[in-house]
Structure formats: C-alpha cells, structure tokens
C-alpha cells in the first residue's frame, strides 16, 4: 500500500530538519509519497522569520533569557495549553490546508511547537488522519508532547517513557533518525592524512551546531594547550570563528564540510555542547561523546539526560574534560561499553511506524500487540504470534557501564548515576514491585517468533526496548484478560477474525476507543478563573517581547553601540573598576597605555571624584557603569523594579559627566540588558554596550583569542588589584600579537 506522508519540521538549527529529511528519504525509498514543510512558514506576516532570527540572537548573546523561559514552562506547565491554543490560531489553518492539499494519510512532526499545534488540531477534529510526534531530543520539554497526538517516537527509552507519562499516548523508542551516509564504510587513514594527522595523534572533533553557538574557542584552546590531543573544529559558515581558531597552534580549524561521516571516522572522540543531531550521528558510528559547557535550555537538559542514559559523559571543567578524553580516546572497556550503549539505541526504523499508522488508522495505534509486531518486523496478519511481547522487557546493554565508569569517577568528579537502558522512571520501577509484574525472558520472546526466521533470541529481545508501557496499565490489562478468559472459556474471535478480548485487555483500564480517556462532561470554569488563566497565558508572550524582542533590536543596532564601519584593526576595551582599583595609579597608567575606557558606577565616582579627574588627565575615557547598588540605612540592598533601575542607571551619566568634565554617553550595564534599558538610553540620547566577551581576571585562562572590531569588557570589580594588573598586561601583549590597537568605548557609534 502506497502511503502519503506530510512531515512538518522547522528550520531552527539542523537537528529537526535533519530528522525530517531522513524520514522523507526513507519513505520515498520504500515507494511512498512524502513531502517536508517548514513550520516557520505557516504563521502570517513573516512572524516565523522573526522567531528564527530572534531565537538565534538569543542563543548567541542572551542565552540566559532562553534558559529562563525554558525552565519556566517546567515550573508552570499550566502555561503550555494556552501557548498551544495561541500557536494554533496563528498556524493551524495552514497546517490543515497542507495536509488536505497533499492528501496526507499521516502527518509527522519533528519540532515541538508543530507537535503541540497538531495535537490541538487532532483534538478539535480539524485533522482526521493519524499524527506522529518524533522527539529528536533526549530531554522532553513540556511543549514536546500533547495528548491529542496519536503516537510518540523517541530516540531512547528514557524520553519515550517521559513522553508517555506526560501525554498518556503510546510512546516508542526507535532510536535516532540518522542519515544512511553514516552507515557507509569510510577511509579513516585517508581522511586523517588529509588533515595532517600522524598515526599516534588522538584527534578530537569539536562541533557546536549549525549556528556555532557556544564557547568553541575556549574548548579548542583547552584541548590544544594540553598537547595530548589534536582538536579539529568544524566552524561551518562562521569565517570569523575559523580565523580565530587558525591562530591557535596545535589544532585544525575547518570551514563548511559535507563529509562529516569521514571526519567522524578519522576522529577518536567528539566534544559537543547540545546533544543534537551531530551527537546522534556520532552514536551511530560508535564515536565516544564528551559534552562540555552545554548551551542553555535544551542543551543542558539533553547532555544531562544522555549521561544519565550512559551514552555520553559531561565534563564540568577543563581538568575533567581532559581526563575524560584520556579515557575515551584509547581502547578500553569503558570506551567499548559507552559505544555499545550508544549503538544499542538504534533498534527500529521510525519509517515503519509511520507506514503502520497509515495502514491501521489512528484508533488502532494504541494497540500494544500491533506496535510490538511493527518492532519485530511482522505484519498485521502475524499478530497472534507475538501476543504479550509488548509487555515490559528489561533490556540493559549498559549493564557493565556503571562499574566501568565508576572506576574513573574519582579523578573526574561525581557523575549522575547510569540508568539501565529500557528502564523507566522511579515511579515505574516501584509500580513493577508493587504489582508483581514480571519481565519476559529472552527465551520466551524467542519462542514467540514466527517459524522460519533466522533471528537469534538476542535479536528478538530488542523488541522490548520499543514498547514503553505503564506497569499499572499492564497489570490491569492482564487482570482484565484473565477475567475475560474465565467468563467465556478463553474468549471468542469476532467476525473479522480479531481476538477482541486480547486487544481490549492490552488497553489501559478506563479508556475508550483507541486507548483515549473517555470524555466526561466538561466543567465550565468561572469567569474569574478564565480571566486569571488568560492573564497567565500572556506572561510568556510578554517575557518573549522583553528578551527575544530585545535580541532582535540589539542585533540591528537599536539603542546599542556598534563599531565604526571604517574602524580598521582595533579592539574596543572597557575596564570596570572597583573603588580600590580606581585609586591605583598603576592601573590608571595601564588604561592610558591600552587606550581603554574606565567604566565606573555613580557611587564609586562620587566617593573618589579626584581619582576620576586624574584618569581624565591621563587621557582615559570614562563611561557610565550604572548608578551602583542601592542600599538602605542598615546596608541591605534595596530591590527595584526594572524600569526604575534602568532609569536610575542611565541617569548616572549626567553625574559622571559633571565629575569628569567630559561627555559621558555610553552606558555599560553590570547586568543583563533589557527593554527598559534600551528605552531609558533612547530617552537620554545614550548608547548601551553589549560586549562580545567579558574577561574575568580571576579565570584560569581569561584572555583567549582577540578579534578586530570586537568589544571586550574587563570585569575588574570581581578581582584583586594584582589580578587586574596581570590581565591588563596580558591584554596589551595579546593586542600587539594580534596586530590590533586598543580603542575606547566612546569611539563606538
């Protein structure tokens, strides 16, 4: 039967699109019709383009705001339904039209918001074909699932179990959707030779996603400076990043490459920061993964969940990063166990379940026997051979991994416990003990295989990793099945040849057709409750306007100082000074030699006006570091609302200008920039500064590579005078080595 499948992704990075493209390719290879659409083209007024650009800027320059909104929905999941309904109003009509115009038999989503919208459309009956949610991440955010979706597919049993618990819908662990190119044999020796790698070199591939998010430069430098490994960084389209890394001795900085399978074959380990598509590709080829300095939000969650599943490790600092690389770049039982745990994830082809959904329809997607049959490669006619296979099977390919990794944990710090693959949450394990449900032994599963197959028992056991069931539901189902058998002497077949008692027994107790909960009479909320809910729903939208909206504004220069277009080989430098550093004449002279700006808050300047004037006499530019901390008579900090704080900070420019006897038009906040700061700067005809990098004198390696026309803020307020002097000296030498000159913040426009 030829199937027509609509796959809806989103061009938010490469991970979602990569999985969607591979699914389309597999379906077409089987003779089906498949088409991929970009969810970001569905909202009106090019809102999708705005969302993408603001999200990219937010991830690169205001990651804290993304992390905050990401965590907010975990703490307040009640916000998710209003967001889903709002997004459905924006995009639902187009998704319905896409499905109808294509004549889709199944609609598949690989992006969270798409899944939420499809769930709302299914729930409202606006889409009447099966919908499938393919979860590309290890972390299952509250916006990744919806009870209206018919079937969840996941990359690993951990996210599959979480998806089922959150949505109440069947959830299957198929493994990641990775391109078939990674299954092809690669010439490791030839690729290493092309990279200039010697036979004894231990090559570490460094990636940061399609947008180059994260501190790749710092990771590259740590690995290169160790002299124990050769870092090979894939910089994609980021030419500036490639230029910076090329100046670091001992590594390889590559531009855009389309031969990732060959690069992975040439490498001995992968260092990444998001747990995205590249990590899934590395798992498929058996390349050990170390996660370091994960990006905000899903990056932190994915890498933590991957370590919890035993398929990767997370390094918390530079020392641990190098220690873990020592462990996994040489042949060892620990490396072998990690690789085995990763490859054990790839147990089924997600395209099979998509085809299955088109054949059986939405109502029968909750049938556990049929889902188990898909995992085993059986057809619907073979269902009688696999009755009961969908019951929970404990499958643990990482059985020895816990002990092996524990041996190295003394040197690398405490790690999250390794959870066996195939196990669920703690609640599920408790339910197993209380209900007395027993796992199916491999021999029993093998006995259920159809005669004439070549599968070994170990091969068939892999079925157990696919069907994620709730133990309580299984216990109730078994009890119901026994009761039915006693009542009618073993049950009878329906007219169509299906064993209805057996199928109904496998559905959770208290559900109606298709395994969905029965619809009761809805309770109508009061007007007051509805108003409160509407107010709560507005909160994330307002917050997005004050974070992502600021990101878009700053990206296009609204209220933010930028380098001059003809500035040449200069780096703009500001140094935030404490009271003691302002009094230090040595530091003042170093600022003058660097041609850097002194960033001082109003309170500090008011205490030492003579020292401010001394700096001006040396030719040092003085700029506004804010009003300073507001304290009461007891010395306790006074909390301020954001708009009052912003107005006070920007107004401090007037007092600093009076003390310094020169114009002060640049505001350098000592905190995250927000919309109120931009509005206050606009009203005062000031410019705010968002530095490309903040240099902390107390860090082990505070300097790093320096780039022309970038802005650097040295945070001396959190260091001693000596630490600041040392960093300013290093900065002076670094600028000369990079053939750059220092420039004050006043030169920004």
Q: Which residue has the tokens 């009542």?
A: 487
Confidence of residue 198 (pLDDT cuts 50, 70, 90): very high
Q: Looking at residue 163, what is its pLDDT?
A: 93
Confidence of residue 76 (pLDDT cuts 50, 70, 90): confident
Most confident of 421-425, 550-554, 671-675: 671-675
Mean pLDDT for 268-272 is 94
The dihedrals phi and psi of 4, each to the nearest 5 degrees, come to -110, 120
pLDDT digits over 696-728, tens only? 888 877 887 898 889 999 999 888 999 999 999
Q: Which of 142-156, 251-265, 371-385, 423-437 has the lowest mean pLDDT?
A: 423-437
Q: Whole-angstrom Cα distance, residue 499 to residue 243?
A: 67
State the chain's mean pLDDT as an integer: 77
CATH code of the domain occupying 183-343:
3.40.50.2000
Q: Whole-angstrom Cα distance, residue 715 to residue 578?
A: 9
Structure token pair of residue 453: 């197959």
CATH code of the domain occupying 4-179+348-410+422-470:
3.40.50.2000
- Report the DSSP beta bridge partners of residue 743: 572
Residue 287 near residue 338 (C-beta atoms within 8 A) = no
Q: Looking at residue 379, what is its pLDDT?
A: 52
Q: Whole-angstrom Cα distance, residue 282 to residue 500?
A: 44
Could you give the 3-state DSSP secondary structure of residue 584? coil
Confidence of residue 403 (pLDDT cuts 50, 70, 90): very low
Q: What is the number of other CB atoms lying within 10 angstroms of the CB of residue 496?
A: 6
pLDDT digits over 319-331, tens only? 999 999 999 998 8
Q: Is 673 a residue whose pLDDT tops 60?
A: yes
Alpha helix stretches (DSSP H) within 136-285 = 157-167, 188-194, 216-225, 239-246, 260-266, 277-285
Q: Which of 308-312, 493-497, 514-518 has the lowest mean pLDDT?
A: 493-497
- Report the DSSP beta bridge partners of residue 623: 599
Contacts of residue 227, defined as CB under 8 A and 6 or more positions apart, other chains included, come to: 250
- The domain ranges of the chain are 4-179+348-410+422-470, 183-343, 557-747
Residue 448 near residue 385 (C-beta atoms within 8 A) = yes
Q: Which helix (H) or strand (E) holds 325?
A: helix 318-328
Q: Looking at residue 628, what is its pLDDT?
A: 87
Higher pLDDT, 506 or 94: 94
User: Strands 131-135, 289-292: parallel, antiparallel or unpaired by DSSP?
Assistant: unpaired
Q: Is 545 a residue whose pLDDT tops 70?
A: no
Tell me the residue length of the chain. 749
Q: Whole-angstrom Cα distance, residue 401 to residue 338?
A: 7
Distance, CA of 199 to chain centre: 35
CATH code of the domain occupying 557-747:
3.20.20.370
pLDDT digits over 411-465, tens only? 444 443 333 333 333 334 334 433 343 333 333 333 333 333 343 333 333 333 3
Q: Whole-angstrom Cα distance, residue 283 to residue 264?
A: 10
Q: Looking at residue 479, what is its pLDDT?
A: 43
Structure token pair of residue 385: 């051979």
Q: Whole-angstrom Cα distance, residue 302 to residue 285?
A: 19
Confidence of residue 410 (pLDDT cuts 50, 70, 90): very low
Q: Looking at residue 399, what is its pLDDT?
A: 43
Contacts of residue 424, defined as CB under 8 A and 6 or more positions apart, other chains included, come to: 157, 161, 468, 471
Of 121, 140, 125, 114, the closest CA to residue 41 belongs to 114
Mean pLDDT for 258-269 is 93
Mean pLDDT for 472-485 is 44
Confidence of residue 92 (pLDDT cuts 50, 70, 90): very high
pLDDT digits over 150-172, tens only? 999 999 999 999 999 999 999 99
Strand order in the sheet with 230-234: 252-254, 230-234, 203-206, 269-272, 289-292, 313-315
Q: Which of 205-219, 384-398, 554-568, 573-587 has the lowest mean pLDDT?
A: 384-398
Q: Which of 34-48, 358-372, 404-418, 603-617 has the lowest mean pLDDT?
A: 404-418
Q: Do the domains 557-747 and 4-179+348-410+422-470 match in fold?
A: no
pTM beyond cutoff 0.75: no
Mean pLDDT for 368-376 is 77
Q: Is 512 a residue whose pLDDT tops 70?
A: no
């Amino acid at each position: 039967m030829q199937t027509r499948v609509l796959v809806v992704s989103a061009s938010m990075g490469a991970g979602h699109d990569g999985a969607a493209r591979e699914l389309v390719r597999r379906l077409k290879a089987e003779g089906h019709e498949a088409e991929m659409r970009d969810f970001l083209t569905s909202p009106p007024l090019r809102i999708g383009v705005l969302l993408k650009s603001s999200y990219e800027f937010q991830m690169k320059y205001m990651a804290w705001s993304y992390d905050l909104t990401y965590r907010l929905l975990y703490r307040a999941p009640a916000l998710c339904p209003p967001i889903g309904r709002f997004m459905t109003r924006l995009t639902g009509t187009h998704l319905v039209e896409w499905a109808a115009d294509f004549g889709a038999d199944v609609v598949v989503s690989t992006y969270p918001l798409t899944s939420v919208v499809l769930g709302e459309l299914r729930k409202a009956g606006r889409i009447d074909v099966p919908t499938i949610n393919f979860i590309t991440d290890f972390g299952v955010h509250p916006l990744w699932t919806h009870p209206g979706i018919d079937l969840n597919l996941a990359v690993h049993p951990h996210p599959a179990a979480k998806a089922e618990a959150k949505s109440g819908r069947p959830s299957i662990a198929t493994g990641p959707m990775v391109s078939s190119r990674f299954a092809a044999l690669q010439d490791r020796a030839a690729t290493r030779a092309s990279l200039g790698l010697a036979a004894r070199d231990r090559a570490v591939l460094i990636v940061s996603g399609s947008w180059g998010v994260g501190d790749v430069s710092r990771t590259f430098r740590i690995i290169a400076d160790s002299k124990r490994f050769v870092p090979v960084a894939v910089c994609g389209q980021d030419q500036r990043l490639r230029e910076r890394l090329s100046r670091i001795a001992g590594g390889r900085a590559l531009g855009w490459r389309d031969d990732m399978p060959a690069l992975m074959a040439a490498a001995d380990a992968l260092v990444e920061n998001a747990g995205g598509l590249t990590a899934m590709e590395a798992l498929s080829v058996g390349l050990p993964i170390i996660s370091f300095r994960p990006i905000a939000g899903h990056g932190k969650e994915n890498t933590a969940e991957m370590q919890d599943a035993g398929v990767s490790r997370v390094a918390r600092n530079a020392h641990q990063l190098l220690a873990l690389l020592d462990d996994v770049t040489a042949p060892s039982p620990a490396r072998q166990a990690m690789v085995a745990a990763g490859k054990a994830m790839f147990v089924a082809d997600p395209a099979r379940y998509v085809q299955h959904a088109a054949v059986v329809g939405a109502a029968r997607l909750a049938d556990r026997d049929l889902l188990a049959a898909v995992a085993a490669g059986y057809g619907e006619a073979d269902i009688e051979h696999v009755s009961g296979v969908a019951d929970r099977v404990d499958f643990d390919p990482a059985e020895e991994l816990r002990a092996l990794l524990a041996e190295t944990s003394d040197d690398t710090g405490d790690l999250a416990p390794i959870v066996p693959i195939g196990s669920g949450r703690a609640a599920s394990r408790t339910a197993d003990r209380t209900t007395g449900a027993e796992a199916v032994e491999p021999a029993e599963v093998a006995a259920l295989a159809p005669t004439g197959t070549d599968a070994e028992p170990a091969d068939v056991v892999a079925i157990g990793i696919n069907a994620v069931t709730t133990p309580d539901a299984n216990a109730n189902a078994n009890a119901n099945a026994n009761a039915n058998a006693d009542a009618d002497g073993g049950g009878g077949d329906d007219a169509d040849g299906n064993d209805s008692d057996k199928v109904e027994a496998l559905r959770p107790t208290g559900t109606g057709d298709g395994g969905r909960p029965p619809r009761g009479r809805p309770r109508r909320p009061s007007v007051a409750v509805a108003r409160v809910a509407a107010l709560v729903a507005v909160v994330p939208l307002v917050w997005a306007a004050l974070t992502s909206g600021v990101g878009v504004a700053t990206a296009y220069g609204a209220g933010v100082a930028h380098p001059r277009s003809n500035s040449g080989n200069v780096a703009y430098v500001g140094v935030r000074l404490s009271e003691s550093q302002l009094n230090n004449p040595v530091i003042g002279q170093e600022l003058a030699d660097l041609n850097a700006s002194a960033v001082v808050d109003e309170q500090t300047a008011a205490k030492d006006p003579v020292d401010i004037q001394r700096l001006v006499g040396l030719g040092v530019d003085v700029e506004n570091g804010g009003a300073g901390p507001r304290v009461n008579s007891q010395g306790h900090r006074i909390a301020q609302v954001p708009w009052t704080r912003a107005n006070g900070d920007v107004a401090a420019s007037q007092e600093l200008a009076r003390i310094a006897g020169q114009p002060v038009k640049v505001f350098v906040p000592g905190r995250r920039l927000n919309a109120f700061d931009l509005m206050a700067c606009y009203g005062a005809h000031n410019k705010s500064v968002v530095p490309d990098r903040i240099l902390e004198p107390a860090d082990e390696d505070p300097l790093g590579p320096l780039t022309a026309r970038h802005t650097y803020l040295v945070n001396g307020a959190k260091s001693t005078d000596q630490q600041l002097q040392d960093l300013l000296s290093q900065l002076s030498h670094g600028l000369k080595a990079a053939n750059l000159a220092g420039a004050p913040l006043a030169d920004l426009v």
